[in-house]
Structure 1
Amino acid sequence: MATLISFAGLPGTGKSTISRALSVVTGAVYLRIDEIDAAIWTIDPDRDIGPESYHIAAALAASNLDLGHTTIIDCVNPWEITREIFTAAAKRSKASFLGVEAICSDSVTHRARVEGREMDVPGLEKPDWQKVLSRDYTPWTAADVKLDMARLSVSDAVAEIERHL
């Protein structure tokens, strides 16, 4: 059975690194909200993007789930309402769902990751530490897997997710 793996976490917690590594290991489809946002901004650079990119990602995920492909969504996924978009997509596609939250409990490490980050999506601005700290984000208490990337390597994080698949 296909699974929708939905990530959540603040910028710099390792979501993209883990998601990509998991995709390589499992062969899962990889969808990244940052790339959807960047594509929208190419058309309209001044657009204030709300939940549109989450709905687009959910629709793309559902198409892949319907074909039997496990699909990974890489995004901040900051609130229960955004997380519900993905759980609903999995349910519509009769796929299983795995919620994964990445955190970084060491603020020095987290800050270094944010400030040392190289942007790999053209058109996206690098987040600054103060914006990360002030971001509206609700911890995902119901996540199936919680990864503290101050304590885990990427390969350990991938292995932990695989144990839940």
Structure 2
Amino acid sequence: MATLIALAGLPGTGKTTIARLVAQARPAVFLRIDEIEAVLRVEDERRDIGPLGYQIAAALAVSNLKTGQDVIVDCVNPWPLTRAMFADAATHAAAAFLSVEIICSNTDLHRGRIESRVSDIGKGHAEPDWQAVIDRDYTPWREADVCLDTAKLSPEAAAKRILSALCA
């Protein structure tokens, strides 16, 4: 059965690195909300796109899940509302759902990651600074199936934990 793996976590926690490792190992379709949103903002980087990036990712997830492909969604996924969008997508596609929250409990490490980031996304995307990260409206995902702390786990170890949860 195909599985939708929905990640959640603040910028700089390691979601994209981990998602890529899981997508390569599984293999799975890799949907990165930042890239979708960058395309939506290419003409105006300040454009308010609301939930459109998430809605597009959820629709693409359903299409790929229905073909039997696993899908990993890489996004901040900050609220129960956005998380439910992906759970509903899995249900709609008759697929399994794995929820994963990624945190970085070491503030200095997390801040260092944010301040040293180099974006690999082109026009339409701006990396947040540390103040934007700490000011972000984000609700911890306490009921996530898997919670990973990248202050304590390497990206490879975190990816292995997700892959193990998929096999359980």
Give structure 1 regions of 4+ aligned residues with deviation exceeding 6 angstroms.
none
Give the equivalent residue in structure 2 for 1:150.
Answer: 151
CA offsets, 1:40-86, max 9 Å, x none?
01244442021111010000000000000000000000000000000
Matched ranges for 1:1-165 at <5 A: 1-123=1-123, 124-165=125-166
- Could you tell me the TM-score, scaled by structure 2's length? 0.96
Unaligned 5+ runs, structure 2: none
Secondary structure class of the residue paired with 1:49: coil
Aligned residues: 165
Letter in 1 for 2:89: A
Distance 2:66 2:116 in 1: 38
Distance 1:10 1:158 in 2: 17
Unaligned 5+ runs, structure 1: none
1:126 to partner: Cα distance: 1.8
Letter in 2 for 1:27: P
Distance 2:117 2:73 in 1: 20
Greater Cα shift, 10-19 or 43-52: 43-52
Query: Once superposed, what is the RMSD of the aligned Cα atoms?
Result: 0.8
Distance 1:132 1:46 in 2: 17
1:32 to partner: Cα distance: 0.3
1:155 to partner: Cα distance: 1.0
Letter in 1 for 2:122: P
